[in-house]
Structure 1
Amino acid sequence: MLQQKVMKISEKLIEKYNIPVPRYTSYPPANYFHSEFGEKEYVEAIEASNSGWPQNISIYVHVPFCTKMCHFCGCNTQFTRDTDRMCTYMEAVKKEILMVKKMLDPVRKVSQVHWGGGTPNSLPVETIRDIMDTIHENFEFIDKPEIAIECHPAMLDEKYTEQLVQAGFNRFSLGIQDFKQEVLDNVNRDAPKVPVKEIVGWIRSHENTGVNLDFIYGLPFQDIKSFSETIEKAVDISPDRLVTFSYAHVPWIKKAQKILEKRGLPEADEKLRMFLEGYKILTENGYTAIGLDHFAKANDELSVALKNRKLHRNFQGYCTRETTGQVYAFGATGISQLEGVYAQNGKVPDVYLERINKGQFNIEKGYKLNTGEKIVRHVITEIMCNEFVSFEETARFFTISVSDVKQALHFEEKQMESFVVDGLLQMEQGSVFKVTDAGRFFIRNIASKFDPNLTNENKRFSKAL
Structure 2
Amino acid sequence: MKIPQHLINKYNTPVPRYTSYPPANFFSTEFTSEDYVQWLKQSNDEATQNISIYIHIPFCPKICHFCGCNTHLTRDKNKMRRYVDALKKEILMVKSHLNPDRRVSQVHWGGGTPNSLPIEMVEEIMNVIHDNFSYIINPEIAMECHPALLDETYIEKLVELKFNRFSLGIQDFKQEVLDNVNRDAPSIPIEELVKMIRSYKNTSVNFDFIYGLPYQDEKSFSETIDRAISISPDRLVTFSYAHVPWVKKAQKILETRGLPTAEKKIAMFEAGFKLLTDNGYNAIGLDHFAKPTDELDIAFKNRTLHRNFQGYCTRETTGQVYAFGATGISQLDSAYAQNVKDTNTYVELINEGKLTIEKGYLLTRPQKIIRHVINEVMCNYYISWKEAEQVLQATVAEIKSTINYDEKSLNEFASEGLLSFTAEEISVTDSGKFFVRNIAASLDPAMKNATQKFSKAL
CA RMSD in angstroms, aligned pairs only: 0.7
Matched, 1:445 2:426: no
Matched, 1:463 2:439: no
CA distance in 2, matches of 1:459, 1:443: 19
Secondary structure, counterpart of 1:416 in structure 2: helix
1:126-156 CA-to-partner distances (Å, cap 9, x unmatched) read 0000110110000000000000001100011
Per the alignment, residue 170 of structure 1 pairs with: 164
Matched, 1:418 2:416: no
Q: Return the offset for 1:407.
A: 1.4
1:183 to 177, 199, 204: 177
Per the alignment, residue 241 of structure 2 pairs with: 247
Q: Unaligned stretches of 5+ in structure 2?
A: none
Further displaced range: 339-348 or 159-168: 159-168
Matched, 1:59 2:57: no
CA distance in 2, matches of 1:262, 1:17: 26
Secondary structure, counterpart of 2:184 in structure 1: coil
1:152 to 142, 146, 157: 146
Q: Return the offset for 1:457.
A: 3.4
Secondary structure, counterpart of 1:236 in structure 2: helix
Matched, 1:128 2:122: yes
Secondary structure, counterpart of 1:169 in structure 2: coil
CA distance in 2, matches of 1:398, 1:155: 45
Secondary structure, counterpart of 2:99 in structure 1: coil
Per the alignment, residue 426 of structure 2 pairs with: 433
Alignment of 1:284-433 (within 5 A): 284-429=278-423, 431-433=424-426
CA distance in 2, matches of 1:456, 1:348: 31
CA distance in 1, matches of 2:116, 2:314: 29
CA distance in 2, matches of 1:458, 1:9: 29
Q: Return the offset for 1:428.
A: 1.3
Per the alignment, residue 202 of structure 1 pairs with: 196
Write the letter of the residue equivalent to 1:27: Y
Q: Return the offset for 1:458.
A: 1.3
CA distance in 2, matches of 1:260, 1:432: 43
CA distance in 2, matches of 1:89, 1:9: 46
CA distance in 2, matches of 1:40, 1:106: 21
Alignment of 1:201-220 (within 5 A): 201-220=195-214
Secondary structure, counterpart of 1:272 in structure 2: helix
CA distance in 1, matches of 2:154, 2:2: 44
Q: Unaligned stretches of 5+ in structure 1?
A: 1-6
Write the letter of the residue equivalent to 1:149: M
Per the alignment, residue 9 of structure 2 pairs with: 15
CA distance in 2, matches of 1:237, 1:212: 11
1:94 to 88, 96, 109: 88
Write the letter of the residue equivalent to 2:432: G
Runs of 4+ in 1 over 4 A off after TM superposition: none
CA distance in 2, matches of 1:288, 1:24: 22
Q: TM-score, normalised by structure 2?
A: 0.99
Secondary structure, counterpart of 2:256 in structure 1: helix
CA distance in 2, matches of 1:51, 1:457: 33
Further displaced range: 17-26 or 453-462: 453-462
Q: Return the offset for 1:8.
A: 2.1
Alignment of 1:247-286 (within 5 A): 247-286=241-280
Q: Matched residues, percent identical?
A: 63
1:407-432 CA-to-partner distances (Å, cap 9, x unmatched) read 11011111212210110101112x41
CA distance in 2, matches of 1:152, 1:253: 23
Write the letter of the residue equivalent to 1:434: S
CA distance in 2, matches of 1:87, 1:164: 19
CA distance in 1, matches of 2:226, 2:46: 43
Alignment of 1:37-76 (within 5 A): 37-76=31-70
Per the alignment, residue 24 of structure 2 pairs with: 30
Write the letter of the residue equivalent to 1:460: K
1:454 to 427, 447, 451: 447
Q: Return the offset for 1:399.
A: 1.5
1:209-248 CA-to-partner distances (Å, cap 9, x unmatched) read 0001000000000000000010010000100010000000
Per the alignment, residue 221 of structure 1 pairs with: 215
Secondary structure, counterpart of 1:292 in structure 2: coil
CA distance in 1, matches of 2:69, 2:306: 23
CA distance in 1, matches of 2:366, 2:198: 45
CA distance in 2, matches of 1:76, 1:145: 26
Q: Return the offset for 1:194.
A: 1.5
Write the letter of the residue equivalent to 2:405: F
CA distance in 2, matches of 1:10, 1:111: 41
CA distance in 2, matches of 1:389, 1:159: 46
Q: TM-score, normalised by structure 1?
A: 0.98
CA distance in 1, matches of 2:106, 2:433: 27
Further displaced range: 158-167 or 16-25: 158-167
Secondary structure, counterpart of 1:319 in structure 2: strand
CA distance in 2, matches of 1:456, 1:35: 21
CA distance in 1, matches of 2:404, 2:43: 28
1:385-443 CA-to-partner distances (Å, cap 9, x unmatched) read 111001221112111111100111011111212210110101112x4111111111111
Q: Return the offset for 1:318.
A: 0.9
Q: Return the offset for 1:125.
A: 0.2
CA distance in 1, matches of 2:146, 2:381: 31
